[in-house]
Amino acid sequence: MNGGFRGAAWLLAVGCATTPALAQDSERSRYYIQQMIELAATNDEAGVNAMQRMLEQEPRPAPRDPAAARAALQRGQAALRTGDLNVALTAFQQAGRDDPGNVDAVNHLGLVERKLGQFPDAERDLQRALALEPTRASAWFQLAQVYGLSEDGRRARGALANTYRFAQNPMRAEEILRNIAESEASDTLRTAAVETLRLYQLPVEVVIVPPLPANPGIVPLMTAPASGRKP
Amino acid sequence: MTSRLAPLALLVLLSGPSSAGAGQYETLDYHIQQMIVQSAANDEAGVQTFREQLDNLRRPEAGDAAQAQPLFQQGLDYLNHNQPKEALSAFRQAFIADPADAETAGQLGFSYLRLGRLKEAERLLVYALALAPARSASWLHLGQVYGQSGDATRSAGAFANAYRFAQDRPRLAGQLRQLAATDSADAVRAGAAQALRPGQSAPATQLPAAGKSTSVADLPPPAVATPVPVSPPVAPPTARTADPAPSTPPAGGALLDSLRQGLSNLAKPANTTAPNVGLRPMSVAVGDNPGQQIYQNSIPRTCLIVTFRNGKTDSLGSGLLVSADGLVVTNHHVIENADNLAVKCGERESVARVGKRSKEPDLALLMTTLNRVDGFVLNDAYSQELIGLEVFVIGNPYGLEGTFSTGVISGLREIDGVRYFQISAPISPGNSGGPVILRDGSVIGIATMGLKKGQNLNFAIAAAELIHSGLFDPNRMKISAARGKNP
């Protein structure tokens, strides 16, 4: 099946089967984002593209007070630079309320929530940012960290795969992934980075030998490994 | 093709499908590879055309140069203090901060090269050259990457570009002469020598006679805790001239002659009275020296494997006879790039061809003419009870034939679905594919890789993987499931 046909098939399948079941726009957007994550984790480019197009057709929230949102955004960014996360959080929340379609404000809100360890809030707001701009690599990267730090390896890998897919400079993204793969303290995130590099067949050195399984048993050869670590 | 027509033809080629639709890196790589090809053909116009094409590509967005600068300086300091791993880390952070700086990308690529991470080095150096196609240092390092990967042709093209774009050509020519004379990799020496030949950009005058290669002891210590295949490039047996690689590899008798010549220069074990054929009876061993007994029994069935590529020796490894009709098992990575193979088991030599191969598990089966010698007994055991059991390893680390070492089974590891024994017996590049033997003489594993960091953290593919791999008919194997107790 070629890529174009697969993409069309995805659109048909999603359009026919899921749309009526999801009443809320935000729920539908989150569904598409989760699909983008799942499909990216298996390197299904046509599927990711189809979901991206679905997201881009979603209605945009109307701004209430764009000028006030911009001012709050600037306050938040200034507070973020000085490390005052709580002030930044309040400012970005305000910006998001004044203009729910301001992707910078929503993305920064998710970033600060992640830094504060408020992972469910961070996940929600980063998904909001991605619903507004599905190709925003920085939001995918933040979301990957949220999943990685929440021990959700599969979704971390999918989000990292989309980080690389949408990166403006893939070589920079590649080095960021290698940096995580070699230096990150979180096992889940580190493993997700290794798997993402392998997914795209990029060179990576694994620095830690997998732990000894409790009972190695006999694994038949010539079958796919249970760990699923191969690209 | 005249130099006036060449750019036109190249532009026509460029408009074709070769680079259309490719990813960003693939597009950059395409242009760099074309510059190498044109350079190897000494086509100045072609090189310049592709350089201009690169200059016209969209530049990556500049990053935070102020943040990158101190990190870059830190990286240089680490390099100056021979700390490539730390340099890599600093240059990587600088690159992430400002990926549009060619100097940073080039130094990051060089750091990868210093650490032997050739694939990463190639990618970063290609990227650096796409940013600054006239950066001579990156061409020089890229030439080393290709040479160390065994590709003398691309190495020569990259070296020629290093000279072409050098600000200080005499100095660069000196660097190439140094590489041609002393680099430990055959293809680096050949590539540098080719770049120095008349007709290439760099002058061949005053090309000195080649000296001896860098010895193993001169190499910097490994620094990254990563399992690495233990198959080294063959060190040049003698001082060699800077002749380019012959176009066809030796075959048959010529191959064996080449093998003999190469082997004669490798370090021999002190005891050269290894049996010619057959097995030594157990009783010949010194009574309280079980290692001697195992050594005597195993050495006729332990093989040195020499690979040839582009007509030259490429790498060496170890192997083990597993059947009476000449089947030899080794690691896939030992033979994967070989055009031709020769093996020497005990004192007997043979050409070999690959019967079957498998990347995972990393195994290959070679077919030789070495019959009339029983193969090793393969031991199917793989359980926690084996941990702590004494093991013996025979192989050819760095060409030191028949090196014997001992250790214990330190653990069981499953990596990518393949079962390994972690062993404490020392192994080094050249041990790849050799047997890991229990006290009863049966083979429990095939030495495959070790961690650079730490001490004696080495890994052998479990013989059980070989037995069940389908690489060869179980009816031709001798299998035991004993626990390796004393015979």
Q: Is B468 in Cβ contact with A209 (below 8 Å)?
A: no
Q: Could you read off the pLDDT of A14-67 as tens digits, one per residue?
A: 444 444 444 466 888 999 999 999 999 988 989 999 999 999 988 889 999 999
State the average pLDDT over residues A76-90: 96
C-alpha pair distances (Å), B77 with each of B132, B150, B334: 23, 31, 37
* Separation in Å, CA of A229 to nearest CA in chain B: 6
Q: Is A172 in Cβ contact with B99 (below 8 Å)?
A: yes
Which of A77-81, B161-165, B472-476, B482-486 is the least confident region? B482-486
- Does pLDDT of B230 surpass 80? no
> Which residue of A170, A175, A207 is in closest CB contact with B95?
A175
State how far the Cα of B281 lies from the Cα of A218, in Å rounded to an integer.
34
| One-letter amino acid for residue B429 of the chain | P
Q: Are B179 and B144 in contact (CB under 8 A)?
A: yes
How confident is the model at residue B56, as a pLDDT?
83
- Say if residue B249 is preceded by a cis peptide, omega within 30 of 0: no
Domain made up of A63-133: CATH architecture: Alpha Horseshoe (1.25)
Strands B377-379 and B478-480: parallel
- Does pLDDT of B311 surpass 90? no
All residues of chain B having their beta carbon less than 8 Å from the beta carbon of residue A200 are none
State the average pLDDT over residues B329-350: 88
Instruction: Count CB-CB contacts under 10 A for residue B213.
Output: 23
Q: Is A222 in Cβ contact with B416 (below 8 Å)?
A: no
Would you call B145 exposed, middle or buried from its count of C-beta atoms within 10 A (0-12, 13-18, 19+)?
buried
- Does pLDDT of B291 surpass 90? no
B208 membership: H or E segment, kind and range: none
Report DSSP letters for B91-148, one per residue: HHHHHHH-TT-HHHHHHHHHHHHHTT-HHHHHHHHHHHHHH-TT-HHHHHHHHHHHHH
* Separation in Å, CA of A208 to nearest CA in chain B: 7
Q: Which residues of B, range 362-391, sit inside 8 Å of A by Cβ?
A: 382
State the average pLDDT over residues B353-362: 88
Q: Is B24 in Cβ contact with A171 (below 8 Å)?
A: yes
Q: Could you read off the pLDDT of B143-202 as tens digits, one per residue?
A: 999 999 999 999 999 999 999 999 999 999 999 999 998 888 889 999 999 998 866 555
State how far the Cα of A37 lies from the Cα of A32, in Å rounded to an integer.
9
All residues of chain A having their beta carbon less than 8 Å from the beta carbon of residue B224 are 205, 207
Half-sphere exposure of A192 (CA within 13 A, CB side): 33
Q: Is B419 in Cβ contact with A216 (below 8 Å)?
A: yes
Q: Is B415 in Cβ contact with A205 (below 8 Å)?
A: no
Q: Is B124 in Cβ contact with A168 (below 8 Å)?
A: no
> Which residue of B95, B415, B465 is in closest CB contact with A221?
B465
How confident is the model at residue A95, as a pLDDT?
96
Give the domain ranges of chain A: 3-56, 63-133, 135-204
Per the prediction, chain B carries an average pLDDT of 77
> Which residue of B96, B413, B457 is in closest CB contact with A212?
B413
pLDDT cut 70: percent of chain B above it: 74
All residues of chain B having their beta carbon less than 8 Å from the beta carbon of residue A183 are 89
Q: Could you read off the pLDDT of B106-142 as tens digits, one per residue?
A: 999 999 999 999 999 999 999 999 999 999 999 999 9
The ipTM (two decimal places) reads 0.79
How confident is the model at residue B481, as a pLDDT?
60
State the average pLDDT over residues B441-470: 87
Q: Is A175 in Cβ contact with B108 (below 8 Å)?
A: yes
